[in-house]
Structure 1
Amino acid sequence: MGLRSAHTPGDAVVAEVLEAWFASAPGERFAALEQHLLNGALPDLFGYHIVQLGRHLGADLLGATRISHRVVVDLGVTSTPGISLRGAEDALPFGAGLIDVLVLPHVLEFTDDPRRVLREAERVLIGEGHIVVLGFNPWSWYGLWSLARRWQGRAPWTGHLVSVSRLKDWLQLLGFDIVLVRHAGFRPPMRSQRLERLTAFSERLGAYCCPPLGGVYLVVGKKRVEGVTPLRVSWRQRRRVLAGGMVEPSTRGYGGAPCTERPR
């Protein structure tokens, strides 16, 4: 299973349409807002390995991280220059407990089973590791725009939007503590530059008066380990597993033996 929507023919098509939308005027504005959200969150998350799922917002959203080893997993069906690995969002090519930070930019909206994706994220994250989710807010101008444009049958309007409250419930059921929620994007995703200028004040007003109505959100969850000190794979062992992007897939991925090496 890959990045897809019920209204689109396949992974590559969805990724290409999303890339095209994020290259448009409203898409670029949303992408800049999301990068700003990430720039505020990533410097406070530490570890050895950070992984970004998907390339539709650009090959690398991780510029603000302090973590040196960065991996981008392409969720499409074709290989892409500059991408470290290919995989599926619900069958990641990593063993259990190997990743410190996992970034999901608009992955949940365009997958058949978002809860399964979150379970897979929980599997690959180390204890006290972090998941970072970017999503479109259904309770916003973007959500209304999505309802009005769904008939077009093209991403991003065909995505199944997940609310912050639902996402928090899912993460907490999987054993995550919610450590950060941020919103941005209080203008409709319009192409008209004139209307965009006229509504510029709404960004400041919305951020001050009603943050939960922002068109995009960032949620950070921390994997909870109750009453147990997590066994952490040694730096050299984990570096061997991930170095150069040569990673053995999980048993549910693209074949091969899982990466399950633990310190003895």
Structure 2
Amino acid sequence: MSAQNAQQWFETSLGKYLLAHEQSYFDQAVANIFGYNAIQIGLPQFNFLRSNRMPLQFSAGTDCGASLRAAADFMPIESGSMDLVIMPHVLEFNENPHQILREVHRILIPEGHVVISGFNPLSLWGANRYFKPARSDFPWCGNFIALSRLKDWLKLLDFEMTGGRLCCYTPPFKREKWRAYFNFMEAAGDRWWPISGGVYFLQATKHMHGMHIIKPGWKNALAGKKRIASAAQRFNDNSIEKKLHINGYNQINSDKQ
């Protein structure tokens, strides 16, 4: 995906329509996620972390404007250091989305959060890709990933789905007046065709499975027992020698009797 191509598309009427929905959802989704470190992977020209209150926020990617210039599938970030990761349209424009999800799982702390947005192939937006004369343009050049498949990938990494929704039910017309004619689809989309939104959002939490070893109370059981000295004791005290002499004398007298 070319950053310039994506930037130009978001400046169109259809791009602004999508951007308004994306910004609204991310603002709501990340506002009440707390922690210390948050990262946005992809689309650094848009601040989708603006409503979050974590002290450290930065963007990462290969596009100009990213705070950290790095590939999404191999992040130079310490494992278990991020509280929140958001990925606006990253997976469908990368050749190895599985590796990106593994990297997200690696850098997240236990119970850390990830918020993902993606284009839905089972929608009018997905069908529109096959009727475009220029399929090399953004966003039709992407490999749209079905929501059900993305959920399966996340479950394999022990993520738990905690939220999500779909939007952009109207056909992806370039002209605003044509989208206005079909605006009723946007209002009724969640009720009548809930899986046919052009864009989906998905929230998930990283879980770590482990065990706590319960040890028996060996220390308490051995506390009252005498232990063998770890080193030989030196008897230099005269009082000890006297006691040994007296005990021996008493033993001899008892034998005579």
TM bracket, shorter-chain basis: 0.7 to 0.9
From 22, 33, 45, the equivalent of 1:45 is 33
Deviation at 1:50, TM superposition (A): 0.7
Q: Please say if residues 41 and 90 of structure 2, whose CA atoms lie closer than 8 Å, have aligned partners that are also in contact.
A: yes
Instruction: Determine which of 187, 194, 213 is the counterpart of 2:196.
Output: 213
Q: 1:119 aligns with which of 63, 82, 102?
A: 102
Q: Distance in 2 between matches of 1:97 and 1:150?
A: 44
Match in the other structure for 1:199: 182
Look up the match of 1:55: 43
- The residue type equivalent to 1:148 in the other structure is F
CA distance in 1, matches of 2:151, 2:133: 25
| 8 A contact 2:14–2:176 mirrored in 1 | no
Q: Equivalent residue of 1:66, what SS?
A: coil
Q: For 1:132 and 1:194, locate their aligned partners in 2 and report how far apart those are by CA, in whole Å.
A: 32
Q: Name the structure 1 match of 2:129.
A: 146
Offset, 1:69: 1.7
- AA aligned to 2:180 is R
> Which 5+ residue runs of structure 1 have no aligned equivalent?
5-13, 230-264
| 1:127-166 superposed matches below 5 A | 127-149=110-132, 151-166=134-149
Residue 21 (structure 1) aligns with: 9
What is the CA distance between 1:151 and its match in structure 2?
A: 4.6
Inter-partner Cα distance in structure 2 for 1:228 and 1:179: 24
| Structure 2 SS opposite 1:179 | strand
Could you list the structure 1 runs, at least 4 aligned residues long, displaced by more than 4 angstroms after superposition: none
1:73 corresponding residue in structure 2: 60
Please identify, of 60-69 and 180-189, the stretch whose mean Cα deviation from structure 2 is larger: 60-69
8 Å Cα contact 1:53-1:75 kept in structure 2: no
Q: Return the TM-score normalized by structure 2.
A: 0.78
Selected match of 2:18 from 30, 33, 40: 30
Higher relative contact order (CA 8 A, sep 6+): 1
Residue 156 of structure 1 and its aligned partner are, at CA, apart by: 1.0
Q: Do the aligned partners of 2:61 and 2:72 also contact (CA within 8 Å) in 1? A: no
Write the distance in 2 (CA, Å) between the matches of 1:59 and 1:194: 26
Q: How many residues align?
A: 212
Question: Which deviates the most, 39-48 or 181-190?
Answer: 39-48
Give 1 or 2 for the bigger CA radius of gyration. 2
Q: TM-score normalized by structure 1? A: 0.76
Asked if the contact 2:123/2:196 (under 8 Å) is kept, the reply is yes
Deviation at 1:110, TM superposition (A): 0.6
Root-mean-square deviation (Å): 1.6
Give the match for residue 232 of structure 1: none
Structure 2: unaligned runs, 5 residues or longer: 213-257
